[in-house]
A and B are shown apart, each in its own frame.
Chain A
Amino acid sequence: MDYFNIEYISIVTGFLLILLGLFAILTQKNIIKIVIGFSLFDTGIHIVMVSIGYIRNRTAPILDETVNIKDAANQIVDPVPQALVLTAIIIGLGVTALMLAYVLKLHKEKKSLEIQNFSDLKW
């Protein structure tokens, strides 16, 4: 099997990003860094999604002059994952934004960004 094709590289990159993001979330104490980790995690997922839908030698599912409308089904990659990824990106954006809003509030609260300082509720 050819390991150096584009699907493979992108999917591995995607998973690496996911793991990297998780690693950041789990190890970083600074909340901002955790949010960044989360973004990486999200992005990794998006890359994986796109690469799943990729079919070699086909083009993006955009119907312009390069794509024959009648034969579109054989020329373009699977459009669904791409549609999904757009939605996912938007949602990820929303989540990240909300997280950052939280970060702002948290910082206002305690003047600190260390996550262990926000463990008042427990047990």
Chain B
Amino acid sequence: MSDINNNTNNKEDKFLAEENKKRTVIGPDGIEFEIDPLKDYFCDQKPEVRDPKNKVVEKFINWARAESLWVLGFGTGCGSIEIPPLLTPRFDAARFGVQMRATPRQSSVIIISGYLAVKTLKRVIRSYEQMQSPKYVLALGSCTINGGMYYDSYNTINRLDYYMPVDVYVAGCMPRPEALLAGFNKLKERIKAGRAEGANEYAEKFDWYKANQKKIIKDWNMPDYNW
């Protein structure tokens, strides 16, 4: 078997993308220095657990959070076609405070809408980590639960909860928008009950999640936590 990747450097650098490798540059004053993009361009802090405030206040805040679910417009797999109908007159998820946002910074919910290829998982993780706590994961379809029909694929994950804390699974292949709405209501209940602490869980079990993620994402090629 010929080496499929010509990059025969040491193991660590094998999958490192060109632009993330260390490079030497010459400053305007003519002095050379080295740049390590992963260190210099990315923050390498780990996430911290942010404990809830006192109970009464938190309850009120959780109610607000539950009534204002901003969903990241991120679609994976076939489920992404089920999300747009939510905003149509027929389903009108806006009634429940569900709104779409275009950027993970401002979103509080990410919907994993179907099978996740390894390549996509990497983007999902990045987006998830860029969301601000508290944040919720709503997983859609059998594929996220146990791989679904892709259970034996060489490139599709089987269980989402090994890679990020999932709040609500909506089963089905594919679940219809009604089911998704039901999933949102379930999520709301969970938030109001104060049980949707996925972000903290992620921070607590950070190493475990990372290990799982890194096991399948071999060209990790990014900082451990994408702020």
Classify A-B as touching or not with yes or no (CB < 8 A): no
Binding site for B on A (CB under 8 A): none
Binding site for A on B (CB under 8 A): none
